[in-house]
Chain A
Amino acid sequence: MTLAERAPRRAGKRRTRGSRRGEGTAGWLFTLPVVVILGLFLLVPVLMALWVSFSDWSGRGSPLAPGVGFIGLGNYGEILTEGGLATRNLGISMRNVGWYVLLVVPLQTALALFLAVLVNRAILRGRGVFRTAFYFPSVTSSVAITVLWLFLFSTTGVVNEVLSWVGIGGPNWFNDPRGIVHIGLSVFGVDSGPATMTGSDVLGVSWWDWLAGPSVGMSAFILMAIFTTSGTFMLLFIAALQNIGPELGEAGMMDGANAWQRFRRITLPQLRPTLFTVLTLGLIGCWQVFDQIYTGTQGAPGKTTMTPAYLSYQAAFADQKWGQGAAISFILFLIIVFFTLLQRLLLREKGGRS
């Protein structure tokens, strides 16, 4: 994204300066190491993975060896349309990560903004302490936090202990595969969906199951993601807030706007570029969630924490279905690109209107 944005600007600059031959060569010479490194470790592997997703490579020897055949969309077809276990696994993982994104991205953005506004206030004493405290989870390794989380949310862990003080019998967090929407509905006596929803399915998962919500186990991961990443994004928001001069706010005060109106009408619009960055980074990070799953639950309970990234790894390294694994990762790539573009469009449009 950023590359595409920067490229035209750079070209424009060069044109205004005029073209001196020596400079161009020297420029390329200086960028050559990075171009080679990026090409070798990024572009070539990506292209090879793209090839693997269209091939019947079995994982032995080079994927470019003569014996490896091109099978077109075979791998994609198997995971998207054939309706077998591979399709269902993809459906389940999409359901899981969909709910994860839907809950984590807005909540972590809101929390990050809230923390940033709090910490940015000049009257707050010991701002440095709070800033460090909020940022701390972000610099801690996600593996360490996952392990901590497994302890906190175990059946007899701290969280359930605290819940029991107020008379709540905590759930069996990482072992409870029930979706929270289903749990909510069952309170009202709805235990199974209408036939229209259970009868038809997308990617091998019935509509009723798509709407199950994140499982209790996944909810713990959602809380963890919000807890760890809001600190990072808080930092971005603080930087943006500090760039906003006090003039507009003071003018608003003169016009009789209260604190909330000033925040909503004056501060927030000026944060739009940062908001875009935070939402985009959050969206990309959430769709790709892998390390927590790998170290934590490996997809359990009941496959409800299985994500496409983990499924791709599993398909390739455990099941030797390399084509399918690569195909899953490219489907994930397309989804991320789609949502990023969509979000760019939405935020732009609003900007034009106001």
Chain B
Amino acid sequence: MKPTARAALAAGGAALAATLLLAGCGQGFEESPDDASSADALTSSSDPLTILFGSSGDAETKAVQDAVAAWSAQSGVQVTATPATNLNQELSQGFAAGSPPDLFYLSPDQIAAYAANGSIEAYGDQLTNKGDFHPSLVRNFTVDGKFYCAPKDFSTLALVINTDMWAEAGLTDADIPTTWEQLDAAAAKLTKGDRAGLAFDAQYQRVGAFTAQAGGRLVSADGTQAVADSPENLAGLEYVKKHLTDGTFAYSADLGAGWGGEAFGKELAAMAIEGNWITGALSADFPDVKYRVAQLPAGPAGQATLQYTNCWGMAADSPNQKAALELVEHLTGTEQQLAFSKAFGPMPSIQSAADRWRTDNPALVAFLDGAAYAQGLPTDVGATDVINDFNAQLESLKSGDPKQILTTVQGNLAPVVGG
């Protein structure tokens, strides 16, 4: 090797070493997660708080920022609330860099993974308004017996009915379905030409309402066992399959709509199964469609619906958890939640706000009634993958074999729940 070549190699090596060093000094790479902090001792400092939230639109952004600003003025703690463009990704980056936001929206399907790697603080038991939250929501955010975070609000699924089509088909208030048989009858009467009686999305997040009404669950109530291949789930899927085949039910995608609300708004279907969010979408995009909201009918095992919620996650690495806790108590307080509900839709997660909410939203009480019998989706690490795979198979339920689908789901879910 000639001298120049060697010098070149040495220079190259030095440059590489320098880059490695530079990278090594970058923020976050020398900090190791502090696992020693006990669950009960919250950190306290005068550091300002940062909040990251996934906003549904300008109304939510403004409402959250206003509420936070009001608390900041009153408490003297500086807070910045930033809407995320991609919440999961930004949150992951924050945790990896060791500088996560102090508070953030956290969905139940994410909580187990973040709890497992110690990213989030289990502060639920220290909330002064702990007893006020709906019990089903508290269960949704409890992992291994620890109540992790305060539910910020919630939504349930209900039956949305186009009242004009309802009247046109000769149906009256007495015909509002309370059982599967009555739903069959109403859907059959409302199906006309290209229009389906009932539309919903091809995913467990909607179809799961029927399996729940048949008494089925994916994970046993105590959370220890996968029970996807139960005869109850089979009954639910077969019921849906039967009506997808006879055309009285239809997947919104098959009607040419992006989701159930669009199918309903475009009048491609006379009824839809959707959550609270549909009311905002309808008044914004389809203001002329008249509708009413009813509770989902009861199946062979009684009434059931699915609930969707997020909580205020708190970072374990946050330097000022005491202030963050106070802010959460403020944001989940009765007045504040009613204000949020008015601004962007979802229902307050606390029972003390229920009565006021009923008076304020008489047309939507069916959603809140669902809270009594609502179930959440499984929250085990990896359950999202299983449900996505389930959804992929539900798309072809019409031509598929429900039993075969459930066997696959059981096979996928068992290792997730067991492990």
| With A40-B22, A62-B28: A155-B8 Cβ-Cβ less than 8 Å | no
Are A60 and B4 in touch, CB under 8 angstroms? no
Beta-carbon nearest neighbor of A27 in chain B: B8
CA–CA, A299 and B384, complex, Å = 14
Chain A residues, CB < 8 A from B275: none
Determine the interface band of chain B, counting residues with CB < 8 A from chain A. 35 or more
Q: Which of B7-33 contact A (CB under 8 A)?
A: 7-8, 11-12, 15-16, 18-20, 22-24, 28-33
Chain A residues, CB < 8 A from B255: 155
Q: Which of B11, B24, B416 contacts A28 (CB 8 A)?
A: B11
Chain A residues, CB < 8 A from B89: 317
Are A61 and B19 in touch, CB under 8 angstroms? no
> Hey, what's the 0/1 contact readout for B113-140 against A, CB within 8 Å counting as 1?
1101111000000000000000000000
> Hey, what's the 0/1 contact readout for B375-419 against A, CB within 8 Å counting as 1?
000000110111011011101100000000000000010011000
CA–CA, A14 and B18, complex, Å = 26
Chain A residues, CB < 8 A from B30: 62
- Any A CB within 8 A of the CB of B3: yes
Q: Which of B12, B28, B384 contacts A61 (CB 8 A)?
A: B28
> Hey, what's the 0/1 contact readout for B69-94 against A, CB within 8 Å counting as 1?
00000000000000000001100100
> Hey, what's the 0/1 contact readout for B276-297 against A, CB within 8 Å counting as 1?
0000000000000000000000
- Any A CB within 8 A of the CB of B41: no
Main secondary structure of the interface of B (DSSP, over half): helix
Chain A residues, CB < 8 A from B15: 28, 32, 35-36, 39
Are A59 and B19 in touch, CB under 8 angstroms? no
| With A60-B33, A60-B117: A175-B392 Cβ-Cβ less than 8 Å | no
- Any B CB within 8 A of the CB of A106: no
Are A301 and B395 in touch, CB under 8 angstroms? yes
Are B256 and A66 in touch, CB under 8 angstroms? no
- Any A CB within 8 A of the CB of B98: yes
- Any A CB within 8 A of the CB of B176: no
Residue of A25, A85, A155 contacting most chain B CB atoms (<10 Å):
A85
- Any B CB within 8 A of the CB of A249: no
- Measured CB to CB, the closest approach of chain A to B201, in angstroms, equals 11
Are B395 and A58 in touch, CB under 8 angstroms? no
- Any A CB within 8 A of the CB of B244: no
- Any B CB within 8 A of the CB of A89: yes
- Any B CB within 8 A of the CB of A4: no
Q: Which of B16, B256, B393 contacts A156 (CB 8 A)?
A: B256
CA–CA, A252 and B87, complex, Å = 63
Chain B residues, CB < 8 A from A177: 392, 395-396
Q: Which of B2, B88, B110, B116 contacts A58 (CB 8 A)?
A: B116
- Measured CB to CB, the closest approach of chain A to B404, in angstroms, equals 12
| With A36-B15, A60-B96: A320-B117 Cβ-Cβ less than 8 Å | yes
- Any A CB within 8 A of the CB of B353: no
- Any A CB within 8 A of the CB of B188: no
- Any A CB within 8 A of the CB of B95: yes
Are A62 and B29 in touch, CB under 8 angstroms? yes
Are A89 and B385 in touch, CB under 8 angstroms? yes
- Any A CB within 8 A of the CB of B343: no
Are B16 and A43 in touch, CB under 8 angstroms? yes
> Hey, what's the 0/1 contact readout for B313-350 against A, CB within 8 Å counting as 1?
00000000000000000000000000000000000000
CA–CA, A59 and B118, complex, Å = 10
- Any B CB within 8 A of the CB of A172: yes
Beta-carbon nearest neighbor of A62 in chain B: B29
- Measured CB to CB, the closest approach of chain A to B156, in angstroms, equals 24
Q: Which of A40, A58, A301 contacts B19 (CB 8 A)?
A: A40
| With A60-B96, A300-B395: A318-B32 Cβ-Cβ less than 8 Å | no
Are B16 and A39 in touch, CB under 8 angstroms? yes
CA–CA, A89 and B113, complex, Å = 19
Chain B residues, CB < 8 A from A154: 256
CA–CA, A316 and B91, complex, Å = 12
Are B412 and A59 in touch, CB under 8 angstroms? no
Q: Which of A14, A15, A88, A320 contacts B113 (CB 8 A)?
A: A320
Chain B residues, CB < 8 A from A86: 385
- Any A CB within 8 A of the CB of B354: no
Chain B residues, CB < 8 A from A28: 8, 11-12, 15
Chain B residues, CB < 8 A from A319: 113, 381-382, 384-385
CA–CA, A11 and B384, complex, Å = 53
Q: Which of A52-111 contact B (CB under 8 A)?
A: 58-67, 84-86, 88-89
Are A302 and B4 in touch, CB under 8 angstroms? no
Chain B residues, CB < 8 A from A155: 253-256
- Any A CB within 8 A of the CB of B5: yes
- Measured CB to CB, the closest approach of chain A to B41, in angstroms, equals 19
Chain A residues, CB < 8 A from B253: 155, 172, 175, 301
- Any B CB within 8 A of the CB of A44: yes
Chain B residues, CB < 8 A from A40: 19, 22-23
Are A61 and B31 in touch, CB under 8 angstroms? yes
- Measured CB to CB, the closest approach of chain B to A205, in angstroms, equals 12
Beta-carbon nearest neighbor of B414 in chain A: A84
A60-B33, A175-B254, A320-B110 given; name 11 further pairs at CB < 8 Å: A25-B7, A60-B119, A67-B35, A85-B382, A85-B412, A88-B389, A89-B389, A155-B253, A300-B392, A303-B392, A319-B385
Q: What are 23 A-B interface contacts by the 8 Å CB criterion? A: A14-B4, A24-B4, A25-B11, A28-B15, A32-B15, A36-B15, A39-B19, A39-B20, A43-B19, A58-B117, A62-B28, A62-B30, A62-B31, A62-B32, A66-B32, A84-B415, A85-B416, A89-B389, A175-B253, A301-B253, A302-B393, A303-B388, A320-B117
